[in-house]
Amino acid sequence: MADVLIRFAVPADLGVLSDVFRRSSLSNEGDRVSLLAHPDALAFSDRAVHEQRARVAIADGRIVGFATTLIAGQVSVLEDLFVDPDWARRGIGRELVVDAVGTARRQGAPRMEVTANGHALGFYEKAGFVLEGVVETRFGPGSRMHLDIAARA
């Protein structure tokens, strides 16, 4: 794995984030047809960047992934986690989760939640998330998962 630096996203990153979002979203064959049929789902929102809720992973001098979180009461919600397909399976996603957990802990959230699609379920399980149940999403069922931050060392 390359050395990874994680920092807050800034407005100048928006073009790269949009590109990573789109390419990562379309990299899963199971999602591609539905996403292409609904191009609005591939439009990246700049809201989390402007609200300073987006963190980017940088390796070899370029953005290779990002995550966005939102505090909702006592819970940190991992809204987005996307890795450049060229950098998949190199630990970038894991580093972004570790960073998000650290941020949630500093913000006093004892729990993190995420809704995972089918191809991301194994990744989140390996990261320590536990399946709570199935929820409906725009494109079908998703797995609602949680991570007990307070119990992690």
**Cα 56 from Cα 4, distance rounded (Å):** 10
Give the domain extent around 141.
5-148
**Cα 143 from Cα 74, distance rounded (Å):** 20
Q: Is position 38 within any domain?
A: yes
Give pLDDT tens digits for 61-116. Answer: 999 999 999 999 999 999 999 999 999 999 999 999 999 999 999 999 999 999 99
Q: Is position 153 within any domain?
A: no
Tokens of 108: 């006093």
Looking at the structure of the chain, the number of domains it has is 1
Q: Is position 34 within any domain?
A: yes
Q: Is position 42 within any domain?
A: yes
3-state secondary structure of 153: coil
DSSP-assigned beta bridge partners for residue 98: none
End-to-end CA distance of the chain: 24
**Cα 60 from Cα 94, distance rounded (Å):** 17
CATH of the domain at 24: 3.40.630.30
Averaged pLDDT, 136-140: 82
Q: Is position 58 within any domain?
A: yes
Q: Is position 118 within any domain?
A: yes
% residues pLDDT > 70 (the chain): 98
